[in-house]
């Protein structure tokens, strides 16, 4: 692929995501020109917590997870990102080091905006700076909601909310990588506790668990569990 084709590919991707959707064409071209593309295999570490931050990452293909790991090796998934998502904004803009570890869940391709280039672009283009500030504020709200869930809601309530938020219609289709162990890490629990919560919801006729999907049988009851079971 030629440099011009790579530049256009980066520009097209950036234009499709909220961070850069309202940025003018000249600024977008400048951002795309400073981006580099990298591809990773499944289960590969993209960023390591505590290491110097390399910049802002934009996902083109594949799924990745951002995690914190306890000394005992237990994972808490902070976020799962896929095509069109941006990650490591805090590391790129507010901290010289990566705030968490990012691991691929499947083969993935990302574009990286180097930290130094991004900071320079923010100084030169106020429109971009404003969009990034909005996105960071939204991310802080998401993290506050996650803390609230982990602190105040039962595993069953957190599971109910996850199913509702990621369902299409009455079906929550699980990605190939979305094993029950991964779901447990996303919910801040362990596999045995998650399995018990799934069995309870299934026994009560709220959901039906299949191999690669969870069917919502009683959406009203599932919503009640997600909202009120604390």
Per-residue pLDDT of 39-55, as tens digits, reads: 999 999 999 998 988 88
Residues 175, 195: one domain? yes
* HEC readout, 79-128: EEECCCCEECHHHHHCCCECCCEEEECCCEEEEEEEHHHHHHHHHHCHHH
Q: What is the pLDDT of residues 80-127, one digit of tens each?
A: 999 999 898 888 877 788 888 999 999 999 999 888 877 887 787 777
Closest CA to 70 of 101, 92, 93: 101
Domain end marker among 150, 172, 204: 150
Q: Domain total for the chain?
A: 2
Contacts of 130 (CB under 8 A, 6+ apart): none
* Residue showing tokens 């909005």: 134
pLDDT of 133 reads 81
pLDDT of residue 3: 67
124 and 200 share one domain: no
The verdict on 7 and 101 lying in the same domain is: yes
Choosing from 150, 179, 195, the residue where a domain stops is 150
pLDDT reading at 217 higher than 70: yes
The CATH number of whichever domain residue 221 belongs to comes to 1.10.10.10
Spell out the residues 6+ positions from residue 50 whose beta carbon is closer than 8 angstroms to its own. 97, 98
Residue 116's Cβ-side half-sphere holds a number of Cα atoms within 13 Å equal to 1
**Cβ 162 vs Cβ 183: under 8 Å:** yes
Q: Do 46 and 136 share a domain, yes or no?
A: yes
Angle between helices 191-203 and 180-187 (to 10 degrees): 100
Question: By the 8 A CB rule, do 83 and 62 touch?
Answer: yes
Out of 120, 150, 180, pick the residue that ends a domain.
150
pLDDT of residue 229: 45
Q: Are 70 and 119 in the same domain?
A: yes
- 208, β-bridge pairs: 215
Rounded Cα distance between 160 and 223, Å, is 7
Q: Are 71 and 114 in contact (CB under 8 A)?
A: no
71 and 164: one domain?
Answer: no
Q: Stretch 206-223: mean pLDDT, rounded?
A: 93
Amino acid 1: pLDDT: 62
Tens-place pLDDT, residues 160-202? 999 998 899 899 998 889 889 999 998 989 999 999 999 999 9
Quick one: 194 and 83 in the same domain? no
Do 85 and 146 share a domain, yes or no? yes
Q: What is the pLDDT of residue 73?
A: 77
Residue 188 domain boundaries: 154-228
What tens digit of pLDDT does each residue of 129-156 get? Answer: 777 787 778 878 777 887 777 777 899 9
**81, 117: one domain:** yes
Do 40 and 101 fall into the same domain? yes
**Do residues 127 and 21 both lie within one domain?**
yes
State whether 209 and 100 are in the same domain. Answer: no
Question: What confidence score (pLDDT) does residue 230 get?
Answer: 42
Q: Is 0.85 surpassed by the pTM of this model?
A: no
pLDDT at 90: 81
The CATH number of the domain holding residue 54 is 2.60.120.10
């Amino acid at each position: 692929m030629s440099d011009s084709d790579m530049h256009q590919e980066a520009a097209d991707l950036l234009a499709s995501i909220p961070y850069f959707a309202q940025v003018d064409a000249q600024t977008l071209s400048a951002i795309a020109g400073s981006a580099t593309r990298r591809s990773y295999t499944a289960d590969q570490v993209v960023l390591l917590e505590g290491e110097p931050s390399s910049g802002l990452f934009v996902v083109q293909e594949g799924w990745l997870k951002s995690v914190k790991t306890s000394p005992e090796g237990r994972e808490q998934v902070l976020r799962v990102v896929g095509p069109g998502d941006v990650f490591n904004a805090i590391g790129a803009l507010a901290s010289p080091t990566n705030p968490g570890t990012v691991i691929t869940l499947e083969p993935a391709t990302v574009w990286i905006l180097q930290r130094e280039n991004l900071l320079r672009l923010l100084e030169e283009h106020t429109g971009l700076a404003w969009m990034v500030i909005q996105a960071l504020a939204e991310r802080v709200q998401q993290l506050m909601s996650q803390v609230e869930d982990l602190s105040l809601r039962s595993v069953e309530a957190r599971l109910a909310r996850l199913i509702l938020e990621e369902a299409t219609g009455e079906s929550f289709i699980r990605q190939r990588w979305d094993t029950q162990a991964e779901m447990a890490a996303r919910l801040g629990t362990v596999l045995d506790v998650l399995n018990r919560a799934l069995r309870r919801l299934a026994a009560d006729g709220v959901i039906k668990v299949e191999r690669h999907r969870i069917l919502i049988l009683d959406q009203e009851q599932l919503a009640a569990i997600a909202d009120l079971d604390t």
